[in-house]
Amino acid sequence: MKSELTMPSRRRFFRDARRFAAVAAGIASSQIRTTPSATAWMAQEPSLKIQSVAAYPIYINARSDGLLEAPKFEGDDDPRRWRWGGPFEQLPSAIIAIIKTDQGITGFGMGAGGSAAVEIIDGHLKHLLIGANPLNVEQLWDQMYRSAIFYGRRGLFVMALSAVDNALWDIAGKHTGQPVYQLLGGAPRDRIALYQTGGDVTEGRARGVRHFKRSLPISPQTEPAQLQRAIDSVLAARDAMGPDGNLMTDCVSRDGTVEWAVNLAERLRAADLYFMEEMLSPDNVFGYAELVNRIGGSGRKLTKIACGEHEYTEYGFDILVRLGSAEILQPDITWCGGTTAGRRIAQLVETAGLEIIPHRGGSSWGLPIALTSPSCTMAESFPAGSAILDAMSPATENGDVLAPKDPGFGTKLTEEMVLEYRLTREDRNI
């Protein structure tokens, strides 16, 4: 039997026509790359110049341990071969860019890609930045992206670009004395509800947390007993939460299938999930569109479908939106191209009438987009981590993430802290 995606449908035709029209309008409006507020602060100091650009791989927490030693596999069929992400996988391979101006302003920006991304910044992007006015943030983004379009439209290059773009926005905020979210047009709110990924639900509720997400390291190859334990853990989280609050799951899947995901959603029906995240490979955009139709808002409404954590730039998200591959889009501002890309993605998503809930939206880097996007209802947060992660985490209160008051991203980063947590070539044995 054919899926809904392959069957002609008058209703589907007109629904998609409306979606495409909305997206086209969003793309047209996004050609104006600066807001009125951006124009004002960009014109204040045309003589400001970038003096130096540097970037460093950093150790963020125990997830970085896998970067320090080469794996030892037991044969070609070792299951760990399918799970190992290598030394440049996004979260463990975090980097911090440090950009300094001739007027003594230092901007910090987080990205990823480890030593390979640092090489891109040092050998490529730095030459487009030195001597430029850092307040021309969006123009510089366009120049950097286009300069690598034949080798870096996705992945490693964009993660490197994210670091320097975030550092430029940090400079702009510090130069004007404003938090980044105000440079993006401000927000009618000074806080947003957090959702806690991982950690203990009971402990989180005691701190006022109302929303939770459980990670499910499962796939179609998972043994039945392990799969049942994972399902039971989600149902137990719902029991601990009670009927109130949003509960979500994240499979972080690389090989999920549509039928497997539909079955999993059915088995988790009692958990009353708000969304299920990353049940398929990021490349399976057509499969995601089928999930939206079969279990998402336009189908049986078991749960909303979320993806985009591992997508890049407005161009990648344009594909997801046009295909109807998600109801909730989740750009990570340290991977997707930085705050400039995040702003454009948010505009695209809002115009299409969908939701944006940035991955790690409760971090200093994701919060400006979360605060200024009308459809965003929650910001992702994690239990306490290392000192450098804590320095990049905004204050929380009664289950909410608070908008920063300090200029730029409001982090507590210093150059000394970045160098203290720097991963050197000698540290890495891979």
Q: How confident is the model at residue 92 (pLDDT cuts 50, 70, 90)?
A: confident
Mean pLDDT of 73-87: 83
Average pLDDT over residues 8-31: 40
pLDDT of res. 1: 38
Task: Give the contacts of 269 (CB within 8 A, at least 6 positions apart).
Answer: 302
CATH top-level class for 4-26+182-413?
alpha beta
Tokens 């979500």 locate to: 248
Instruction: Please give the pLDDT value at position 21.
Output: 42
> pLDDT band for position 425 (50/70/90)?
low
Task: List, in sequence order, every residue forming a beta bridge with 400; answer none if it has no partner.
Answer: 193, 397
Give residue 8's pLDDT band: very low, low, confident or very high (50, 70, 90): very low
Contact residues for 146 (Cβ-Cβ < 8 A; gap 6+)? none
- Of 24 and 105, the structure prediction assigns the larger pLDDT to 105
| Neighbour count for residue 221 (Cβ, 10 Å) | 10
Q: Which CATH superfamily is domain 36-178+416-420 in?
A: Enolase-like, N-terminal domain (3.30.390.10)
Q: Where are the domains of the chain?
A: 4-26+182-413, 36-178+416-420
Return the active site residues: 359
Lowest pLDDT segment from 9-13, 55-59, 189-193, 403-407: 9-13
What string of DSSP letters covers 163-196? HHHHHHHHHHHHHHT-BHHHHTT--S-SEEEEEE
Q: Name the token pair of 195.
A: 């959702």
Q: Which residue has the higher pLDDT, 16 or 96?
A: 96
Q: pLDDT value at position 347?
A: 97
pLDDT at position 86: 79
164 vs 252 pLDDT, higher one: 164
Domain 4-26+182-413 matches domain 36-178+416-420 at the CATH topology level: no
Q: What are phi and psi of 107, to 5 degrees?
A: -110, 140
- pLDDT value at position 191? 96
